[in-house]
Amino acid sequence: MRLKWMTAAGLFAGLFAAELVGGFGGRTVVSYVDDLGTIAAALAAAVFCLRAARNQGGRLRTFWGLLAAALGLWSLGEILWAVYDLGLGGPVPVPSWADAAYLSAPPFAAAALLAHPAVHGRTTGKARAVLDGSVIATALFFVAWTALLGPLWRSTDLSTLGGIVTLAYPASDVVLLFLVVLVIRGTTSRDRRDLWFLLAGLAAMTLSDSGYAYLAEVTRYGTGNLVDIGWVAGYIAIATGAYAARPQPIADPLPLKQTLTRAALVAPFVPVLTALTLAAVEIHVTHRLDRVAWTSALVLVLGVLLRQLLLAVDLYRGSEEETALPDRLLNSLGETRP
């Protein structure tokens, strides 16, 4: 059954992308396929998340329930967008009621990620885990500011509601991406694969949001743009993850010691390397970084150095405990001898 759903979902996404790329049937057909296809994908994700919430218990029920609420609001936004685009037949204004629905969804998605058990699990070093989160947040902010937020900030008229809405999309995306990386950071080898579909879907949607904000400000966004493929792919990935979620009516207790996956160990370094690479490219091309970028880059470097220091301390303490263990065993054996 899961194989049939994944085959159908992949076929739907492939046909959707082919229509947007090829433009078969003209502009009108592309608009209908884009708007109605996006609504169908968003509603499917919302329904499957609600179904997953009914089959789960504990934090997972809260997680899927909040995510279903977020998908419901995203679905409402897609429906309102289609009303403007197909029903009224004119360009969708910015801001619009569709924007109100879209921007109401990220708080629920963020609350869902914060409620996930992976965020509340015990890690090998609590202080290092908190520092990892700070480093990830700083790296993502640097990337977002240098690539999108900075240019939009300098070119957008923030005295208008439309300008605020334009910046709200990438700003909320940074928060969601930060939480997605934190969930990946907290995953263990016992976690299910449905989580990876979900996180990939959220990441695809946030990237499309940022692309939409850029296009709406720099050029002119229109229905049928290739950036819409990211939203449909994201909705389908979330629906697949929710559909594949195994029923778990009773919450599992958290293990005392978690074994992090390779992805969890690598996750903090991906945004850091991306930020440092982007900084090098920006300095090479423009020969400068603005004050916000310089400050975030300095905080990022200091955070990485402090993280490595804490890691070295943890490794040193671990080696001391391993060395002291045989001595403690011998002493205890000697004390029990008659």
Q: What are phi and psi of 17, to 5 degrees?
A: -65, -40
Which one-letter DSSP state was computed for residue 83?
I
Give residue 337's pLDDT.
Answer: 46
From residue 26, alpha-carbon distances to 83, 117, 220, 265 in Å are 20, 47, 19, 47
Assess contact for 101 and 90: CB atoms under 8 A. Answer: no
- Render each residue's pLDDT in the chain as its tens digit; 338 residues: 567 777 888 889 899 999 888 888 888 899 999 999 999 999 999 999 999 998 887 888 899 999 999 999 999 999 999 999 888 877 778 778 888 999 999 999 999 988 888 776 544 455 566 676 677 777 777 777 776 667 666 666 656 666 677 777 777 877 887 787 777 766 665 556 777 888 889 888 888 877 777 776 666 667 778 888 989 999 999 999 888 877 765 554 444 344 555 555 565 667 777 777 777 776 767 767 777 777 877 887 787 778 777 767 766 665 554 455 455 444 554 544 44
Assess contact for 91 and 62: CB atoms under 8 A. Answer: no
How many Cα neighbours within 13 Å face the side chain of 285? 7
How many Cα neighbours within 13 Å face the side chain of 15? 10
Give residue 153's pLDDT.
Answer: 66
Query: What is the domain extent for residue 159?
Result: 2-336
Q: Which residue has the tokens 């290739």?
A: 226
Tokens matching residue 271: 């945004």
Burial of 247 per CB tally in 10 Å (0-12, 13-18, 19+): exposed
Count up the domains in the chain and report the number.
Answer: 1
* Upstream peptide bond of 95 is cis (omega within 30 degrees of 0): yes
Give residue 301's pLDDT.
Answer: 78
How many Cα neighbours within 13 Å face the side chain of 274? 19
Terminal-residue alpha carbon distance, the chain: 66
Assess contact for 158 and 333: CB atoms under 8 A. Answer: no
From residue 260, alpha-carbon distances to 134, 202, 209, 254, 271 in Å are 19, 22, 30, 13, 18
Q: What residues contact 170, with CB distance under 8 A and at least 6 apart? A: 144, 148, 149, 152, 209, 210, 213, 214
Name the CA dihedral angle for 26, 30, 36, 37, rounded to a multiple of 10 degrees: 130
Give residue 280's pLDDT.
Answer: 74
